[in-house]
Amino acid sequence: MKVSREEIETGALTTENLQFALREMQDSGFVLLEQVLDRAYINQLNAAFQKQFALHIQQPPLKDQIANGRIYVEMSAPFEPPYSDEQLCANPLAVQVMGAAMGEIVCGFYNSNTAITGTEMQQIHIDMKRLLFPGFPVVLPAWSMVVNIPLIDFTEENGSTEVWPGTHLNSDDLNLDARYPSLHSIRMNARVGDLIIRDLRVWHRGMPNQTTAVRTMLAIVYNRPWLKLTRPPIQIPRTSWDNLSTHTQEIFKNNVIID
Going through 104-152 in order, the beta strands assigned E by DSSP cover: 106-115, 144-150
Which of residues 83 and 109 has its CB atom nearest to ligand AKG in the complex?
A: 109
> Rounded to the nearest 5°, which phi and psi values hold at 213?
-80, 145
Distance CA 119, CA 214 (A): 10
Quick one: which of 161, 170, 209, 255 contacts ligand AKG (CB under 6 A)? Answer: 161
Query: Per DSSP, what are the bridge partners of residue 199?
Result: 145
Contact 27, 101 (CB under 8 A): no
Distance CA 1, CA 3 (A): 6
CB of 127 to ligand AKG, least distance (A): 6
DSSP string for 152-165: S-B-TTTTPPEE-T
Quick one: which of 109, 197, 206, 251 contacts ligand AKG (CB under 6 A)? Answer: 206
Quick one: which of 88, 90, 115, 196 contacts ligand AKG (CB under 6 A)? Answer: 115
Contact call for residue 72 and ligand AKG (CB under 6 A): yes
CB of 206 to ligand AKG, least distance (A): 3
Distance CA 75, CA 56 (A): 8
Q: Which of residues 165-204 bind ligand AKG (CB under 6 A)?
A: 204
Contact call for residue 150 and ligand AKG (CB under 6 A): no
CB of 150 to ligand AKG, least distance (A): 10
- Interface residues with ligand AKG (CB under 6 A) are 72, 113, 115, 122, 127, 161, 204, 206
